Each structure stands twice: as structure tokens, then as C-alpha cells.
Structure 1
């Protein structure tokens, strides 16, 4: 953080962001044995508020739907990326020109064994029930970042199948899993990743290691502390396509797995990767607005090439940034403007 904190200081004003929040979660768990939910900081914005929550015997939000932004009128329901870390999309949500409330939908912790892993359909059933409890009738507005876009899409499918209207379904740089990629796209990505690794290997030969930087987590945690956190990834992206999502160690071979996280966060990450690995896309005839990060992602194929065969009624919009930076800073504000205009257009049409 930028400065020492008083008990009632606003953590965001003091410089809290998603990476700092995750480090706080790690350090607090290592010191106390209590794991804060990373979304705690959405609802509790000072140390005194967090302490009050802990005194009540809670470690974070308990409801599936978290109010990200208050408002009046029809709500917007949003899925974040990863393990429902809404701090990732906080700037985007704050920049929306939308008068209704914005609810973040947390992924349900199913806690099933690998051989009976939860699927996207399981999550959709839970989400629809919660959405209906907040907004009994449509039209509905849905948004999803990263794999959250898959969940928004499948919730839209379920609502329309039940006879409800979906006025807006937005997908933000949403990937598919390696197993579903067409082989020629997968092979092209593997070739490009191989080339990048060769360039990195050459750089390590000519640049002293002390000048290349270290991981943020390693800067603040001892080696003993790091050993208590989740293990690092084990595999190579080249072989991940051929692994079963129901294998006990499947998540550790995913290119997105970085390790170094607390127990509950790690369990949620494993569930997410199995959910993603088991998903297979299906054609969808409804209206979708698909926002693509122009600079792409180093571990995923181009989303439009993957999704176009399945989304026959989609609008494709390329935005500034890569998969991470599209929802940060100026890029987030530009993206929020495009989303807001399309939601407003849908309201007029309804």
C-alpha cells in the first residue's frame, strides 16, 4: 500500500488493487490461519470493517450475488474472470453509464470429487435461481469477463429456453478450453508459444538474471511461507489438450495455473479449471455482443476464430488492450462506454 493505514482509511483510496488484495489474503492466512475471501474488499473497505466482519465469525461475502454498484431499475448481472475476483472488473463496473444496480455472480463452490466434477450446467442452474430471486421477470442483462463470458452466455441460453427475454448478453475476451479448439488453431498457438520461449531463452543467455525481475509474491513471502501455499504448475501447454479434466492433478497442468495461493482460493481454482475443461460450446442463436482484446492472450487462441462458428448473431468489437488490460484504466473506461451504449440501445428496443 502507498502509506501506513489507520483503522478507518478507505483501502481503495490507499492504493488497493487485485494483486495487493491477493497478497493481503495470503499474508493474513499465513499469520492467522483465517482465509479472507478476496471479495471481502468489495463490501468491507476499511480495516475496521473487516475486523468487525471477522468478529461476527465470517471471512467474506456469503451470498452468491454481490452488489458491486448500487442503482435503481433493472439490474445488470456480471460474472468476473478466474475464481470470481470482482476486483478485476471494478474499474469497468465503476465506469459504466448505467443507472441500475450491478450484481456480481460468484461461482458456486460445489466441492465435488474430480470424477464427479461440476459442469457449467450446474452453475447455470444455481445462477438462474438467484437471478430470478432478484429480478423475477425479464428482460435480463448479462455480462461476463474471460471464462465468465461462457457463464453469461449459458445463463442467457437457459433464460431464453424458459421463455424469458435477454436484452443484452456481453462477452469480454472469452476463451474456450484447449480441448475444444480446432486442431489447426491449437497447432498455430503452440508454434507461436514455442517461438516466444526460444526468444526468452536467448534473452536469459544475454541478460543477467538479477536484471530480469522476480515474482511479486516472492518479494514479500519467505521460502517457508511459499511452501505452505499451493504448488506451482507441473506441465507443459503442449500436452494439456490431451489430459482429462477429471484426472486428480488436471488443474496443475493448466497454462493458467500459477500456484502460491491459499487453500480455499486453490480449491476454487481447481473447480474452475475442471468446469472450463469439461465445457463444450454449442450454437446459440440469440444476440451477443463480443468484445475482443486486440492484443490477445499468450495462452489462448483468437476468440473470434473460436466462437464465430457458434455465435451466428454476434457483434464483434475489438478493443484496446490484452486479456488483462482490457478491463483496467483507460481501456476499462473505453470498454465501459461501448457496453453502456449497447445496453441503452437494448433498453430502447425493448
Structure 2
């Protein structure tokens, strides 16, 4: 049935059903998608499922009309959409990929900023190396530094996160870039690697490359790894992904488009997205960097790895993880965690995760 033949209540029921299944909760007509556990990445899955019901919507519709009632009225009465808080990122936040590539240097140049830096300098045994994707860095580093269980701990940040450097656009290139600095720091194994979220994918590829060099990888911890399900269109390039990213930020931080970069940065700092080594002027570059990393992840398909792996994953992502990861990980040990939707950044705050990581990494 086409949207023109659906009543508002029918569209509302479809939306509530899709959201309820994806978020594993009962959804009321007035529930805000982003307040009941939804996020920008899940919006794409919402759009795909709504399309199966004949509702072909853009991501901006969910951001502008984030309740089932508002979205249903928008669909059935497009000429007179319901009142809603219109969100929009400030124009200054957008930087095209062409402009960035013209004005920033390669991460492979000798004077480019380093990606590896110490989190815990003192300790015993081989270091733990943690790969992070690039945002929420301040919180992630404070949460994961304790994983080392007495070891020195180092962190990797993506090329382009600090300084006027172009991002890389494949997982393979990112792993190669990190390995240059890892091997300078520790020429021989055994190596202890861990990654969070999309950074877990990079840590995985680093482990594969080290084993191909006949090096020992004693521990590979993948905490809440990307489930490798698509979250952007396969036809999108960097600029399209960046615009989608900015729509997400506008919704998440309540932007109207009139804010200065200083105001946007202040709001993001309060949520521990960035630390004081970055400033408002870095925000446009960082969004393109995020887009490049998203594109890299979107193109990635894991090859088999027969070393020991510890996967800590949200139970809601179990099916995708079992489909996309476990078939290529014959020695994987898994911990499925379920926090509900009320705890922010739940996996990194879960004491079970800290205890498990520390037990695996004890010198």
C-alpha cells in the first residue's frame, strides 16, 4: 500500500512497530526516537525497514519529526507538516572533501602528527595498545586506560584527528599507518591489542597483519565492534556522508543552524566528545574525518583470523555479529552484555567488561 492510501494512524502504527523492534521497547506515539535509545546510525536501519512498508523517507525526516505521531502526520499531510523542532547544523561546520584534500597534507609525510600516544606510561610487561575511532576520545581514553591491568597503555587516534592532515579511507591503510608507529614502539611481540566500536575493526586488521609477519598477538580484545551492517548508502561519497553526519549532530545537540562553531564545540565538550587539545576550528575537519572512517568501514569485509579473540558485544547486535564476525573467528570468546537503553555509553561503563579485560591482560 502506498503512503497516499495509508491513514495517519496506520503510518503511526508502522513507525511504532519498526522502532519498537529495533529498540526492543514499547513505543508511544509521542516518544522521541533519540530519547528512547535511537541514534544516528540506527536511523538508516529505520529508513530501510520503513521502505519495506512503502514509506520512502529521507534521514532528515526522522531528525525533524522524531516521534511516531509527528512523522506520521508529515507522511500523510506533507503540505502541512506538524510543528516540530527543526534542526540544522551551522553552514560553517561543513567542509567539502575536495577542499580538505587541497588544504591538508598526507598522514604519510614524516612531519605529520603521530597517531600513537601514551595513556599509562608506567607498568610491567608488554604494553596494551588501544585503537579508538576518533570521537568521544576523552571519555573513551579515561574508561579504557584501566584495561591494562598494570601494563603500560598506549592509544591510537585516527589520522586527521589532530592537525591539518587528510584522513585515510580504507581500514587496510589505517592499520598500516598505525603499525608503523607500533613497530617503532615495540619491534617484537607478543602484542596486546584492543579496540572499541569501529576501532575494534582496525585492531583486528592490525592483528591479522602482525600474524602475517609471524608475530605473536597474545590478546585481541574487540569491545562493541561494529556489526558490519550498512549504515549509509553504498552510493554515497564523502560529502554525502558528511551531510548525513551533520544532520545527526544537529539532532543530537539540538542545533538550529545559528550557532557559532564555538557554541557547537562547547556543547560537544560537555559530552566529552573532544578534549582541550582540540578547538572549534577543528570541527569541520573532524566531520570529514568521521566520514572517511565511515566510508572505510562500509567497504570492509573481514578475512579469517585464527588467533585468540575476545569479543564483548551488546546483545542487541548479537545476530549481526554472529553473521559477520564469528564465521571468520574460530577461536573467538564472546561476552554478550545487555544494559537496556538508560545507561549512556553502557559497554565501557559496565564493570563486567573492565573485569574481563583486566583478567585477559594481567601480566
Q: Which blocks of at least 5 consecutive residues in structure 2 are unaligned?
A: 1-89, 94-111, 256-263, 265-282
- The 8 Å contact of residues 149 and 359 in structure 2, kept in 1 or not, is answered as no
What is residue 337 of structure 1 aligned with on the other side? 355
What is residue 319 of structure 1 aligned with on the other side? 337
What is residue 282 of structure 1 aligned with on the other side? 303
Q: Which blocks of at least 5 consecutive residues in structure 1 are unaligned?
A: 1-29, 34-60, 180-236
1:199-219 CA distance string (max 9 Å, x none): xxxxxxxxxxxxxxxxxxxxx
How many Å apart are 1:62 and its aligned residue?
A: 3.9
How many Å apart are 1:150 and its aligned residue?
A: 0.3
C-alpha distance in 2 between matches for 1:282 and 1:251: 28
C-alpha distance in 1 between matches for 2:245 and 2:235: 11
- The 8 Å contact of residues 160 and 166 in structure 1, kept in 2 or not, is answered as yes
How many Å apart are 1:336 and its aligned residue?
A: 1.4
How many Å apart are 1:135 and its aligned residue?
A: 0.8
What is residue 258 of structure 1 aligned with on the other side? 249
What is residue 61 of structure 2 aligned with on the other side? none
C-alpha distance in 2 between matches for 1:283 and 1:136: 24
What is residue 111 of structure 1 aligned with on the other side? 166
Q: How high is the TM-score relative to the length of structure 2? A: 0.53
Is 2:288 the partner of 1:267?
yes
What is residue 235 of structure 2 aligned with on the other side? 244
Q: How high is the TM-score relative to the length of structure 1? A: 0.55
Match of 2:130 among 63, 78, 97: 78
Q: Secondary structure at the match of 1:67?
A: strand
C-alpha distance in 2 between matches for 1:255 and 1:305: 30
1:94–1:154 Cα change, 3 Å:
closer
What is residue 124 of structure 1 aligned with on the other side? 175
Where in structure 2 are the equivalents of 1:24-173 lying within 5 Å?
62-73=113-124, 74-81=126-133, 83-96=134-147, 98-109=149-160, 111=166, 118-173=169-224
Q: Secondary structure at the match of 1:309?
A: helix
C-alpha distance in 2 between matches for 1:175 and 1:148: 8
Match of 1:304 among 322, 332, 339: 322
Equivalenced residues, count: 216
Q: Secondary structure at the match of 2:218?
A: strand
Q: Is 254-263 or 84-93 further displaced after alignment?
A: 254-263
- The 8 Å contact of residues 311 and 334 in structure 2, kept in 1 or not, is answered as yes
C-alpha distance in 1 between matches for 2:247 and 2:296: 14
